[in-house]
Amino acid sequence: ENYPGVGSINGVDLSNQMYDDMLRSKVVVVRENCTDVDLSSEVKIIKTAINTFYATTVILAMGVRPRQLNSELENKFIGKGLSYSATHEGELFRGKDVAVIGGGKSAFVDAFYMADIARSVMLVHRTDKFRVSQIELDKANEKHIIIKTYNVVRDLVGDEKLEQLVLANTESGELTTYNIDGIFMSVGRVPNTEMLAGIIDLDEQGYIVSNDCKTNIDGVFASGDIRTKELRQIVTATSDGAICAVLAIAYLTKAKK
């Protein structure tokens, strides 16, 4: 709902519409995973497991992925009661008891979404300080979302699927077990910039240090959630894309002279 002109739409449908628009522009799409880059010379080199591509200018838009608190524990239940997106997989838990882990905007979005379709929703956060406004907190109360502050996930229990959630109180250490059908991990994002370390300037969190979508390398630009910015929403990502395109065209025009 933070993207103008389309009403209420989920991210998958919106991105599919954008993809169709792109194809009408006769853009060549190559579905291969990038394995390495060499951006040090005038001609940039992009490698995949299959091909090597050469370009005068490159736009980096690798996005982010959900942050994991305990990958060994979480990976055991992915697709078996654990999810990272209520809007993608929430329907699987319609009429069931679920928990959302996190205290930021995305956690509340997931909790609000599930409150409309689940039997009960519990939101778990390690402190009582939330990264949302009072409006969201009031809305959570109106939707009867159970908020558990000063709690963290200690264990996930189940055989074929998730059955129980064990929380630890961060103040007393007391453990509490809840019967649960599903949990949504919403504890932040991690930029997909590992292969850029030592090549592109990154901040402490791994985001590309970028001023107006430019990077420290001429002809290389950064777009979307992957770069340092005040607000990470689809509307700002599309703005970045437009800026990067104009900058890339200007760079190519200058390179040809």
The number of beta carbons lying within 10 Å of the beta carbon of residue 251 is 17
> Mean pLDDT, to the nearest integer, of 227-252?
93
For 74, residues 6+ apart whose C-beta sits below 8 A from its C-beta are 68, 82, 156, 185
Q: What is the arithmetic mean of pLDDT over 10-37?
A: 91
Q: Do residues 86 and 63 lie in contact, with contact meaning Cβ atoms separated by under 8 Å?
A: no
**257: pLDDT strictly greater than 80:** no
The pLDDT of residue 160 is above 70: yes
Q: Which helix (H) or strand (E) holds 108?
A: helix 105-115
Helices (H) and strands (E) in the chain, counts: 6, 15
Q: Between β-strands 146-148 and 182-185, what pairing exists: parallel, antiparallel or unpaired? A: unpaired
What value does the CA radius of gyration of the chain take, rounded to a whole number of Å?
A: 21
**With 80 as the cut, is the pLDDT of residue 231 above it?**
yes
In this predicted structure, what is the pLDDT of residue 158?
Answer: 94
Cβ(197)–Cβ(218) under 8 Å? no
Question: Which residues have C-beta within 8 Å of that of residue 96, sequence separation ≥ 6?
Answer: 118, 119, 181, 182
For the chain, the average pLDDT equals 93
Query: Which of 101-137 are b and which e, b meaning 16 or more Cβ less than 10 Å from the residue's Cβ?
Result: bbbbbbbbbbbbbbbeebebbbbbbbeeebebeeebe
Residue 29 has pLDDT above 90, yes or no: yes
What is residue 11's predicted lDDT score, i.e. its pLDDT? 78
Confidence (pTM): 0.76
Residue 2 has pLDDT above 80, yes or no: no
229, pLDDT greater than 80: yes
What percent of the chain shows pLDDT beyond 70?
100
Residue 41 confidence (pLDDT) above 80 = yes
Confidence of residue 146 (pLDDT cuts 50, 70, 90): very high
Tell whether the model's pLDDT for residue 119 goes beyond 90: yes
What confidence category does residue 26 fall into, taking pLDDT thresholds of 50, 70 and 90? confident
Q: State residue 1's pLDDT score.
A: 67
40 falls in which pLDDT band (50, 70, 90)? very high
Task: Provide the pLDDT for residue 50.
Answer: 95
Element (H, E) at 235: helix 234-256
Whether 69 shows a pLDDT value over 90: the answer reads no
